[in-house]
Structure formats: C-alpha cells, structure tokens
Amino acid sequence: MNKIQAKQISSFNQQVLSIFIDDQAICDYLSATTNNPAFKNLWCAWLLDDARKAWEQDGSYIWNLIENKQACNLPILLCADDMDFYCDIVVAQVRYEADVVIWEKIGFVTGALDKEQWKRSGIQNIEKWSEKDWEWYGETLAHLDVDDKAWEEWWSANWLEEENRRLWNYYHPYFNDDSNIQWLEVESVSFLAKEYDACVAAFKQNKILM
C-alpha cells in the first residue's frame, strides 16, 4: 500500500500544495520515475477552485469527479502557467474499492483537440439534449444551421451552462479515450481510502482561484 499526503512545495517562487506519494511530490515522483524533468513544472490540477465562475469551469468538472468518486481518467497535473485544459494534462486512471483507492495507470494527454467538435459539443449537440432542452429550445434552436448567429447569441447569454456542456460532452469522453493518452511506464499505486480522502480534503480547503 502506498502513502498519499498533501504537502506544500516551492514552485516558480511560490508555495503551492502538491500530492505526495510515498513522501515524494508527485511532480518529482513522475520526473524521477520516467526520467523526464518536464513533470517538475506541473502543478496539481486539484488546486483549481470549484466555484462556478463565468469564464471557466475546469475546476468544477474535476471536483465533481473527485467528490462523486467516479471511476475515470482523472486530471491530476496541469501546466502551471495556465492551469486549464488547453495545455499539458496528466491523468490518473482511478478505481475505487471499499477501503482502497487505486491509480491503475498514469498518463500524459497527447491526443489533438478538435476545436470544431469542442465548439459543437455544447448546446449545438442536440443528441445530448434533455426533455427540458427540447421544451425550451425545440422551436427556436433545434433546426438552425450550425453557423447561425443565434447560437453565438445563446453562448454569450449562457456561457456558464455552455461551457459545462462542452466539458461533459467533449472533454470527458476525450480524457477517457485511451487513444488520447500516452500511458507512462510507472507502476500502479494504491492508497487507503481514509488517507486519500484526507489528501482530497486538504486540497478542498486550500484551492487557488485560477
């Protein structure tokens, strides 16, 4: 069984919280294990605030996965410069058991983003519409051409909802398609659920606004 903790590290002249695996910061752990120093420049994705902000909801997406203990490829590291899904992303393939949390694999997201598909994965993805969507927009949006200006007007007025739809309709399947992940040659790690939950709680209390 591996040990997991949340501790401060010094990075880019700042003190930030990091996941420690067996007393080693995860960025250092991956750098040493893969012999790739680039991992040292990444920050923990769990630093993102989960507040529903008008300009981005990456943190809300991550915390939804964590708090609902969803078995999936969970973002764990991001580029420190931007801290979003447009830059470097490392994920862990998470599996939950009764008293244990297992990271089966850790990988680097390498698949190319399809900006057009991302753009059309929100309200324009009619296949994902709920019954309420059809009640509200069936007569106004459903039959519009994809390039109609009415879509942009809707995005502008409802960007919080639009981005949330794009996160779940595009990014979630994208992160969980193994063809988009370069799995690293690192062993799986297993944590006691109570230690994992304590680590999560520390990040929950010390998130940064990004």
Q: What is the pLDDT of residue 13?
A: 87
197 phi and psi angles, rounded to 5 deg: -65, -35
Q: Is 83 left (phi over 0), alpha (psi -120 to 50) or beta?
A: left
pLDDT at residue 208, rounded to an integer: 53
Whose structure tokens read 């244990």? 100
* Structure tokens that stand for 177 in this block: 């398609």
Mean pLDDT value of segment 189-208: 90
pLDDT at 56 over 80: no
3-state secondary structure of 64: helix
Angle (CA) 97-100-168 rounded to 5° is 60
HSE at residue 14, side-chain half, CA atoms within 13 A, is 10
Please determine, for residue 210, whether its predicted confidence score (pLDDT) is greater than 60: no
Residue 209 confidence (pLDDT) = 45
Contacts of 161 (CB under 8 A, 6+ apart): 123
148-173: average pLDDT: 95
Domain ranges for the chain, please list them.
4-111+177-205, 124-157
Instruction: Report the candidate in 162, 198, 185, 180 with the shortest Cα–Cα distance to residue 75.
Output: 180
Model pLDDT, residue 35: 92
pLDDT at 113: 92
| Three-state DSSP state, 147 | coil
Confidence of residue 51 (pLDDT cuts 50, 70, 90): low
What is the Cα–Cα distance from 58 to 75, expressed in whole angstroms?
Answer: 10
The tens digit of pLDDT for each residue in 23-36 reads: 999 999 999 999 99
At residue 55 the predicted structure's pLDDT band, cuts being 50, 70 and 90, is: low
Calpha distance 108→184 (Å, rounded): 7
The tens digit of pLDDT for each residue in 96-117 reads: 999 999 999 999 999 999 999 9
Which single residue is written with the structure tokens 């059809």?
134
The per-residue pLDDT for 54 is 47
Asked if 192 and 100 count as a contact pair (C-beta separation under 8 A), the reply is: yes
Q: How far apart are the C-alpha atoms of 75 and 90, rounded to whole Å? A: 6
pTM confidence score: 0.91
Q: Is the alpha carbon torsion for 30, 67, 164, 171 positive or negative? A: positive
Q: Compute the distance between CA of residue 117 and CA of residue 44 in angstroms, rounded to an integer.
A: 27
Distance from C-alpha of 58 to C-alpha of 50, rounded to nearest angstrom: 8
The pLDDT of residue 137 is above 70: yes
Region 121-139: what's the mean pLDDT?
96
